[in-house]
Amino acid sequence: MSSKDQRPEETPEQRESRLRSAAMYHGGRIVEDRYDLEDALEQIQHAVPGFPPERYEAELNEALAWIDEAQLGVLAREEKMIAEVRVLDLNNAAFAIHYYNRRYSGHVSQYGLGRINLIEALGDLYSREQIAGAVARADALIDEGIRMGIGPWNSEADMGHLRQAHPGFSDRALGEALDWGHLIHR
């Protein structure tokens, strides 16, 4: 290994860690259909040069196996959430799924699974028009909760305002909208 292959004062453990991180990152890109296998291997080799080619392949295969397992966990949590919200009224069911989609579906921890389709999740219970209306109401609640996060945190007054401005949503939905606003603006 040449000195250009290693960062100044980098230990072998740190180098191994960089290789694993690069494999996870670029493995995620494969799952998101942004790279093919060859592109990912090339990017990993560029990011952490100096390992034998079979080592890059082994690390990428390990990362892809871990991502597959993580996707199963994400899908199981999503299925559980869908089952739980299907017993709620339309506003709260649509809010729960739409909030999840807006807040979490783009995270790297979702490994390219994307958004939950509300029509697939609730379409046998409600019409497309009913679901679209509930999503619009959920968007209005989420957007207002985010805007309210700019100001001082007065939980009781904020919840009271949201209860009045957005009737038909549970305190859980109202609280989640407020919490997201406070998280964004802290």
Q: Where are the domains of the chain?
A: 11-70, 88-184
Q: Which helix (H) or strand (E) holds 186?
A: none
Of 97, 88, 100, 87, the residue nearest 119 (C-alpha): 97
Q: Output the pLDDT for position 6.
A: 54
Return the residue matching tokens 């560029």: 46
Alpha-carbon distance of 7 to 143, in angstroms, equals 45
Alpha-carbon distance of 20 to 15, in angstroms, equals 9
**Dihedral sign, Cα of residue 2, residue 35, residue 110, residue 148:** positive
- The model's pTM is 0.73
List the end-to-end C-alpha distance of the chain, in Å, as a whole number. Answer: 45
Q: Which tens digit of pLDDT belongs to each residue from 138-184?
A: 999 999 999 998 878 888 999 999 999 999 999 999 999 999 998 88
